[in-house]
């Protein structure tokens, strides 16, 4: 199951409203025979059952469509840890599972209580009669306790956190194992997304300011999956979530890395070189691409190319990835 299949997580109140509306609709369609007590008991137990079925189904959607963190690849496990918090996600899913079980037990207990309600006979002027109000009061009390406990129990999980987690997980890139993985990395706004577009024909969001790329963008060329990493700065101890994603791509996923230099200096060239040297310590083959050569003096490009094996031609770069 892909991340896109994770069901949207609503609030507890929305789930409860859906359950109650469906319960009322269900009993409105019933035709029940028997005594007044039999009819009331059947109606209330039917409502209980519909409420239980709807709520447990909604909770099952959460449990069955969210990924099991421990079963994810190391890359996705790290992404979950850095962007959501593995412990937090596991804890909230555990609450959902616990809530599901408790709702089922509440249903069974109170349905049995409804089933056991009996008519009470009293005697007036030596004639036995039915006390029609006594069982109605008892059933109303059972209903109040049932819906109160169900409502309280449904509000145990943090649904807002789970919905935010769903959106975050669905933003993760799909790493396809049948492709070779090549990461495009470098400082923000040095031309990584432009390079991805030129190599693969994809059209990522490009703008003249740093951190345009909010997540890992994907393109393809031949049997290669290109991963345009969010802008990375040379500060491993102070990285934000976006930069940490880029680090994970480089260290865990990529088989090869394209490092992008920009000599127009949106960032000092000394810092770009330091980051390049750090990237090489990951033990992956690194190709150097020089961006924005159309606005650089020819002699500047030639001098830099003498220090590094630089690619400036897209077709030549394609042959080497």
Q: What is the pLDDT of residues 9-53, one digit of tens each?
A: 999 999 999 999 999 999 999 888 888 888 899 999 999 999 999
d(CA 45, CA 139) in angstroms, rounded, equals: 10
List, in order, residues 6 or more apart from 234 with CB less than 8 Å away: 271, 274, 275, 278
pLDDT in tens, 207-244: 333 344 456 788 899 899 998 877 666 565 566 666 77
pLDDT at residue number 109 = 97
CA atoms in the 13 A half-sphere facing the CB of 187 = 22
> Looking at residue 6, what DSSP letter applies?
P
Token pair 């189904």 in the structure block, residue: 57
CA 152 – CA 156 distance, rounded (Å): 7
The answer to which of 35-39, 141-145, 196-200, 311-315 has the lowest mean pLDDT is 35-39
Say whether pLDDT at 255 is over 60.
yes
User: Residue 109: enclosing H or E segment and its boundaries?
Assistant: helix 86-115
pLDDT of residue 202: 65
Q: Map out the domains of the chain with their CATH numbers.
A: 3-169 (1.20.120.1190), 173-320 (3.40.50.300)
Instruction: Return the DSSP state at 250.
Output: I
User: Are the CB atoms for 242 and 214 separated by under 8 Å?
Assistant: yes
The DSSP code for 220 is E
Closest CA to 199 of 173, 228, 171: 228
> Is the pLDDT higher at 166 or at 119?
166
Name the residue among 199, 189, 198 with its Cα closest to residue 256: 199
**In this predicted model, what pLDDT tens digit does every residue of 178-206 receive, in sequence order?**
899 999 998 888 888 889 989 987 654 43
Q: Which SS3 state, helix, strand or coil, does residue 267 take?
A: coil
Interacting residues of 53 by C-beta distance below 8 A, sequence separation 6+: none
**Range with the lowest mean pLDDT among 91-100, 145-154, 298-307?**
298-307
Q: What is the pLDDT of residue 251?
A: 87
pTM: 0.75
Q: What is the pLDDT of residue 134?
A: 76
Both tokens of residue 15?
A: 């789930």
């Amino acid at each position: 199951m892909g991340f896109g299949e994770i069901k949207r997580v609503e609030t507890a109140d929305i789930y409860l409203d859906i359950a109650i509306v469906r319960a009322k609709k269900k009993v409105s369609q019933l035709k029940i025979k028997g005594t007044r007590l039999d009819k009331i008991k059947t109606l209330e137990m039917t409502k209980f059952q519909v409420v239980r079925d709807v709520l447990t189904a909604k909770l099952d959607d959460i449990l069955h469509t969210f990924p099991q963190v421990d079963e994810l690849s190391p890359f996705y496990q790290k992404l979950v840890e850095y962007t959501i918090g593995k412990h937090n996600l596991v804890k909230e899913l555990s609450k959902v599972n616990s809530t599901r079980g408790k709702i089922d037990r509440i249903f069974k207990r109170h349905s049995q209580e409804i089933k056991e309600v009996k008519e009470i006979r009293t005697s007036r002027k030596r004639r036995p009669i039915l006390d029609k109000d006594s069982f109605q009061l008892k059933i109303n009390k059972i209903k109040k306790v049932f819906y109160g406990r169900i409502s309280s129990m449904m509000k145990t999980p943090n649904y807002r956190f789970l919905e935010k987690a769903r959106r975050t997980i669905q933003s993760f890139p799909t790493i396809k194992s049948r492709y070779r993985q090549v990461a495009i990395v470098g400082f923000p706004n040095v031309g990584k997304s432009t390079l991805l577009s030129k190599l693969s024909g994809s059209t990522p969001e490009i703008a003249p300011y740093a951190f345009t790329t909010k997540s890992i963008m994907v393109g393809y060329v031949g049997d290669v999956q290109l991963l345009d990493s969010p802008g990375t700065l040379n500060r491993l101890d102070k990285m934000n979530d976006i930069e940490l994603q880029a680090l994970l791509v480089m260290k865990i996923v990529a088989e090869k890395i394209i490092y992008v230099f920009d000599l127009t200096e949106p960032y000092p060239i000394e810092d770009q070189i330091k980051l390049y040297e750090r990237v090489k310590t990951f033990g992956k083959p690194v190709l150097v691409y020089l961006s924005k050569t159309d606005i650089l003096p020819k002699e500047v490009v030639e001098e830099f190319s003498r220090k590094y094996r630089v690619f400036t031609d897209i077709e030549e770069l394609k042959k080497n990835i």
